[in-house]
Homo-oligomer: A and B are copies of this chain.
Amino acid sequence: MNNAQKRSKKERILDAAEELFALHGFDGVTIRQIAAQAQVDVALASYHFGKKRELFDAVFLRRAEILNEERLEALLKCQSESGTEGPSVEKIIEAFLRPLEMEQENADPGWKHYLALVAYINNSPIWGKELMSKYFDPLVTRFIEALKKALPGAKEEDIYWCYHNLSGALTLTLAQTGRIDKLSKGLCKSTDFRAAYDHMIPFIAAGFQRVCTKP
């Protein structure tokens, strides 16, 4: 049996949709392209998922809960390992980001595609608010609460703006546009997730501390 056919046809449709939506966006992909890549009849996508938009949502939801659990677990772990004053800013950022790196390095390339799709959604003026808020904000709020504790006296507004910067830096990393490869003439690679996060974490932590600490 062909390697591409080990998974069920339903899963193969999700896999194909995940990769293509991440690359070209919702409107840049046709059901027929998805069906072709999944080696499946066109009508099967509608049968399993309904409208195109519902397929899109199904792709988004498939890994969203898994991700939320992993990140929550990372937060709880770093909190339990710290004393009563709570974890440091850097530890919190690390708990927020490392689970993503882990999945991007997962043997299943679907995770890499999925996170690129999340980047597309998060950066979109029309999809961003709706989908991201609904499924990720509860978790984000928990991280922000932890950050407030680690940054006593910080203005709430400042913390949100810092989170905005964190979210942007992360989003571009997830998108894997390959632009840094070209700009740095090969010195850095979009696919080198380890390097990306190793640089991102202290970068972001320093930003929080500078902006959220009274002078």
In the complex, which residues 165-215 of chain A have their Cβ closer than 8 Å to any Cβ of chain B?
165-173, 175-180, 182-184, 187-188, 195-196, 199-200, 202-211
CB-based contact B160/A188 at 8 Å: yes
Verify if A120 is at the interface (C-beta below 8 Å from B).
Answer: yes
Copies of this chain: 2
CB-based contact B27/A183 at 8 Å: no
Residues of B within 8 A of A175 (CB): 123-125, 128
CB-based contact A187/B129 at 8 Å: no
At the interface, is chain A mostly helix, strand, loop or mixed? helix
Pick out which of these stretches binds chain B: A7-15, A17-25, A40-48, A74-82: A17-25
Q: How far, in angstroms, from A168 to B125 measured CA to CA in the complex?
A: 15
Q: How far, in angstroms, from A125 to B119 measured CA to CA in the complex?
A: 10
CB-based contact B202/A165 at 8 Å: no
In the assembled complex, the CB of A198 is this many whole angstroms from the nearest CB of chain B, namely 8
Q: Which 6 A-B pairs have the closest CB atoms?
A: A168-B172, A206-B210, A128-B177, A203-B207, A161-B199, A168-B169
